[in-house]
Amino acid sequence: MRRAWAPHCQGPHTTLTLHGGGRITIKTATVPAWLVLNDILRKHNYQTHRADTGAFNCRVITGGSNYSLHAYGIAADLNWSKNPYSKTLRTDMPGAMVAEIKAIRTMNGKRVFRWGGDYRGNKDAMHYEIICTPRDLASGIHQQNAIPPADLGQVLRTLQESSRGTPLKRGDNGPRVGQLQWVLNQKAGQGLIVDGDFGPATEASVNNALRFMGRPENGVADSGVWQFLFAAPD
Ligand SMILES: [Zn+2]
């Protein structure tokens, strides 16, 4: 995972507020995964606390020379006072919730999270880490709350029309930007807030797509970008 998510201690990072108010700073490419994890926290009303929740930390492993996964922005610690690092498992996390988090898969079938409570040696119940590669994550997160198929045909026709308009870039806003954000979420697992506002997060997502296409990352969503996204698997 360290090789897949290198370099350490380097962004882009995004800070998310989890259910209950805990805040985590994680690598932006992993945002969709943490949003799905947060949906599961919310479903079980498991409240995180600001005071003992965190993620990114540019440090080496205690007693080792490797950088911690926290230095790669792909691990988060939730409520560490009730879920301490210890010889035996101590946790206030409901088993069903942990099971659901461990069941999250990418669209290409890879498991997304490992839980520190499952470590063979000392248990680290506060800790969740990403165990798939950036490419796996880019295939999208398997979402149970996706748009129902009945609406999908109509959505796709509207999108085809939108894709033929003027190329979109940072500072643009309106329904076509919202549609672009929706497609980026569906096809590239970007976890964008669909607000019709082409800001830095949307620009970073478009650049991700351009990078996958081998094109210069100029932040412009032209028809080529739309077509690339349409062609990606759901
Ligand atoms: Zn940790």
Alpha-helix residue ranges (DSSP H) falling in the chain? 31-43, 95-102, 134-138, 149-163, 175-188, 200-213, 223-231
Q: What pLDDT digit, counting tens, does each position of 172-189 carry?
A: 988 788 788 888 887 777
The CATH label, of 3.30.200, 3.30.1380, 3.10.20, 3.10.450, for the domain at 13-138 is: 3.30.1380
Distance 162 CA to ligand 1 centre (A): 43
Measured in Å, residue 33 CA sits from the centre of ligand 1 at 16
What is the domain class of 149-231 according to CATH? mainly alpha
Distance between CA atoms of 22 and 138, rounded to whole angstroms?
Answer: 26
Q: pLDDT, tens digit, for every residue of 45-55? A: 999 999 999 99
Q: Determine the Cα–Cα distance for residues 213 and 64; give it in Å rounded to an integer.
A: 38
Question: 83 alpha carbon to ligand 1 midpoint, in Å?
Answer: 11
Quick: pLDDT tens for 129-158. Answer: 999 998 888 877 876 544 444 455 666 677
Residue 222 has pLDDT above 90, yes or no: yes
* Residue 20 near residue 44, CB atoms below 8 Å: no
- Domain ranges in the chain are 13-138, 149-231
Over range 69-85, report the average pLDDT. Answer: 96
- pLDDT > 80? residue 62: no
> 16: CA distance to ligand 1 center in Å?
16
Q: Exposed, middle or buried: residue 122 (CB in 10 Å: 0-12, 13-18, 19+)? A: exposed
Confidence of residue 234 (pLDDT cuts 50, 70, 90): low
Helix, strand, or coil here: 139?
A: coil
233 versus 51: the higher-pLDDT residue is: 51
3-state secondary structure of 7: coil
pLDDT in tens, 63-72: 788 999 999 9
The CA 68 to ligand 1 mean position distance, Å, reads 8
Q: How far is the CA of 134 from the centre of ligand 1 (A)?
A: 20
